[in-house]
Structure 1
């Protein structure tokens, strides 16, 4: 049965070892002319919100988004080597993505708060980019709120891959924001306790399934296949991408 699987990146597929916050700090410094007073607040938020928050906390005017995105892109490219040296792929990820990529009736892509350029940097650092259909993913430049990214990904999957609108989708992520995005948009959710949030926190957020990590490939795909059989999803207020 057809299924759309949308994977989060940081702390779900990879551990970035602090490189992400260094990217935000470098982008901020290049635009503000000084270092940020505090690290970026991330935890499942989109790059649009993360960078906006950094400027507002510093009491500065928020630059136009294209200017911020260019700064983030440069900062990400400059830290590819650091990510390869210090970061790691999380347990079971290669096997999970490879298995998903062999399913001809599935679309396996990403739903991430990262801008597309930096998502590619993070995935290519560990050879994961070839295992995902990144052209139909949803990224941090596409919307401010994570639930809105679901509609963006669905529209791309329908337009570029010809997948019907009623094909079920499942998000795989490590934060309550991933869970909230799934529940708000009629998607299923597989939460993994590989980030800073415990199993208990993810269950409390409403996760359908919570795994310690992705090492048990058979278990992961048993869960995903069970969602593929759910048929049509309920419509929600996030079915249409928000105009900006």
Structure 2
């Protein structure tokens, strides 16, 4: 049985301890010469949208995306040690990623609003990168809207890992946007209430499976196997 499992990063795999918002603010300041008037609004949105909104809210023209992405990557790299010191991998994450990584026919990667460089910073800060196939992931530079990232990840899995067309995809994430992306693309969804959204909010968004976190490895594997068998 084949399966593509796509994990969100922030508040699903790791707690970034506000380092993410510091990255956005630093990138903004490096491009404008001034701090943003308000913190970045994240909540499952892509980096392209997050940074665009920051410029709009401050009444500034948006630089070319390549320039913005480079500024984000520099800011992320500069905060690697801060992230490792202040942040943490969330409960059960290492165990479930390891268990999924050894399943025959399963591809385990990320679907995240972060640009690829900063996604790598975040998972490698806690030694999770070796448990994920990051090459087939979908990132915040790949599309404006989260549902479009599912297609990106599926195509990369087909091209790079030889995954057959039509293999089930499951998203694991902590925001209503993760749920919406799954529903919009016919993917499975396992929602986790390990971020700012409650189990009730995630269920209201349409998630049929909501867990408190990723600590129950056996339950998670059971759910994933159910999707793989479809």
- Which bracket does the TM-score occupy, shorter chain normalised? over 0.9
How far off its partner does 1:202 sit? 0.2
Partner of 1:89: 89
* Inter-partner Cα distance in structure 1 for 2:170 and 2:20: 25
For 2:44, what is the secondary structure of its paired residue? Answer: coil
Matched residue, 2:43: 43
Alpha-carbon distance, 1:60 to partner: 0.1
Structure 1 residues 89-238: aligned runs within 5 Å? 89-230=89-230
Match of 2:8 in 1: 8
For residues 144-199 of structure 1, what are the alpha-carbon distances to aligned partners after superposition, in whole Å with 9 as ceiling and x for unaligned?
Answer: 00000000000000011111111000000000000000000000000000000000
The unaligned stretches of length 5 or more in structure 1 are: 231-244
Query: Quick check: 1:10–1:16 contact (8 Å CA) kept in 2?
Result: yes
Mean CA deviation greater in 207-216 or 17-26: 207-216
TM-score, normalised to structure 2, is 1.00
TM-score normalised to structure 1 length? 0.94
Deviations 1:173-228 (A, max 9, x none): 00000000000000000000000000000000000200001111000000010011
Whether the 8 Å CA contact 1:188–1:208 is kept in 2: the answer is no
Deviation at 1:36, TM superposition (A): 0.3
The alignment of Structure 1 onto Structure 2 pairs a total of residues equal to 230
Is 1:66 the equivalent of 2:69? no
User: Residue 23 of structure 1: CA displacement?
Assistant: 0.1
Q: Partner of 2:100: helix, strand, or coil?
A: helix
CA distance in 2, matches of 1:99, 1:66: 37
Give distance in 1, aligned partners of 2:89 and 2:157: 26
**Residues in 2 aligned to 1:141 and 1:104: alpha-carbon distance in whole angstroms:** 30
Q: Do the aligned residues in 2 keep the contact of 1:23 with 1:75 (CA within 8 Å)?
A: yes
Cα shift readout 1:19-58 (whole Å, capped 9, x = no counterpart):
0000000000000110000000000000000000000000
- Distance of 1:186 and 1:165 partners within structure 2: 14
